Amino acid sequence: MDRVLTETFLDQVQKGNISEQGWKPVVWTVTIDAIKEKCGKVVTKNNVQARLKTWTKNFNIVTELQDQSGFEWDDNRKMIVVRDDVWENYVKSHPDAKGFSNENDGHEDINGENEGSDKQLKRGSDEKQSANKKVRTGDAIAAVMTSMTDTLKFMVETNSRACLPTVDVNKLCQEVNKVLDFDRSLTLRIVDLLATDKTKEHVFYGLPDDFKKEWLMMHLNV
């Protein structure tokens, strides 16, 4: 279900159904239908939103783990590896991270139902050769986390592009031309400055006319 959610949210981002205010209402309907069709599960909007919060929490935990001394990221297995003593000391002060140990590999679905009992993952020969380290993230969790990381990055990049402010260039040029003594070259520089910075554009429109020239010259360093 996590994989279906990931694919569905990514598709909705590409369709522009996310804004600075969050997901558009249609997204919840689409994700609920996708889970029902592909997983045979009936979920609610609250279930999906709760799962997103869990994703965010897990993402933050794993991101913080990678920055800690003694923790390493195994890119081949998509897992964090760490010595037992380092891990035990870390979870004492970070109890939320305990669920990522290989002793806790039960998988919970979106409804909060456990799909498998907690058990330790079997280790391959390469893990036996490195007895001082243990894999602390199950394969299934790691796969979802990797996919989620890539999806979140894409969402941020796509949403940033989608949310770029539109600028009425004609209106902007007219307002700039009201300020006297600007030649064409300087006018173009001003329009470029204001069109790429929404805050400066708002300030420019809000200033009294007799303040605008001095304010523009200050920001152009001329």
Q: Which residues pair with 72 in a beta bridge?
A: 81
CA distances from 124 to 121, 130, 144 (A): 10, 10, 21
First-residue to last-residue Cα distance in the chain: 58
Pick the range with the lowest mean pLDDT from 32-46, 88-102, 145-159.
145-159
Q: What is the pTM of this model?
A: 0.47
Beta-strand pair 79-82/72-74: antiparallel
- Using alpha carbons, select from 81, 72, 67 the residue that is nearest to residue 133: 81
Q: Which two tokens stand for residue 73?
A: 């990221």
What single-letter amino acid sits at 161? R
Residue 45, helix vs strand vs coil:
helix
Query: Which tens digit of pLDDT belongs to each residue from 82-125?
Result: 888 888 888 888 887 777 766 544 445 555 554 443 333 233 33
| Domain residue spans of the chain | 1-102+131-161, 169-220
What's the CA gap between 34 and 19, in Å, rounded?
A: 21
What is the pLDDT, as a whole number, of residue 109? 54
